[in-house]
Amino acid sequence: MIPRTVLEVDGHEVLRAVARAAGPPAAPGCGAAAGALREHWPPARLLAGDLAEELCGRGFSPVRIAGLSTLPGHHRGTVVRAVGELLGTFTVDACAIAGQQDYGAPGRAGPHTDGVCCVLPGRLLGLTCYRAAEGGEELVLVDVHDLVPALEAADPVALAVLRRPVPFFDGRVLCREPVFRAAGHGPLIRYRPDLIMAGLARTRPAEAGRVRDALDGLNRRLRPRGPAVRVRPGRDEVVFMDNHRMLHARAARP
């Protein structure tokens, strides 16, 4: 677990600010909600600065949006998107927003990033918790800035293989992208092991064997003792994260 540093805003204030300028909730992705928030809600610029500082520093930022769970479903999405789009292009975890995969629900989901078959996956991702986790479930985050040095020390061959394009297949699109990519501000990651395995079923056996061995090496670094932080979101919290930098997963309480 990490120390709790949570930014806090009032969800009803955010919704009123958006409604004053934009009328009905804006269409997803149009940026109108964020524009309305900057213009009609004085704390917006300060919140955007705090979010940017947190995301640059540690790759994620929990934000408590007070009253979020009391809003109608379509208003929840508007409020979360308005806050997220203060920093630019924003991707909502659709299942989480619908309440079907929120982080108060039991179960497990392995470490991954979202949108791996997109040409450019969304950079900012928001995962929403509408109720406190009853069984102690946690959100597990792995920073690629920590993961790459650990993998390079333990299995440099695996890292070299995963720096070259590997196949991803989501049932519709087959694409080839590296899992790890170098960038000026640090390494980036694109990772969904199930979609890589689906892609490998459509490639040459020799390549598939090399990539599977590399994935085994990576997965050994992602086991419980690997480089990770664990967050237990509270009610009405949204965990914003850099989807190009952070792997996210759900796990039962250890």
What is the CA 139 to chain-centroid distance, rounded?
10
Cβ pair 233, 133 in contact under 8 A: yes
The pLDDT value given to residue 212:
96
The pLDDT value given to residue 136:
60
Cβ pair 239, 231 in contact under 8 A: yes
Burial class (CB in 10 A: 0-12, 13-18, 19+), 154: middle
CA–CA separation, 196 vs 203, rounded Å? 11
HEC string of 77-112 equals: HHHHHHHHHHHCCEEECHHHHCCCCCCCCCCCEEEE
The pTM score is 0.82
The pLDDT value given to residue 195:
95
Q: For each of the chain's 254 residues, which pLDDT tens digit applies?
A: 444 456 788 888 888 877 765 555 444 444 566 677 777 788 888 888 888 888 888 999 888 888 888 888 778 777 887 887 787 655 544 333 323 334 444 445 689 999 899 888 888 888 877 665 555 678 889 999 999 999 999 999 999 999 999 999 999 999 999 999 998 888 999 999 999 999 999 999 999 999 999 999 999 988 766 678 888 877 888 888 899 999 998 876 54
CA–CA separation, 239 vs 226, rounded Å? 21
The pLDDT value given to residue 93:
45
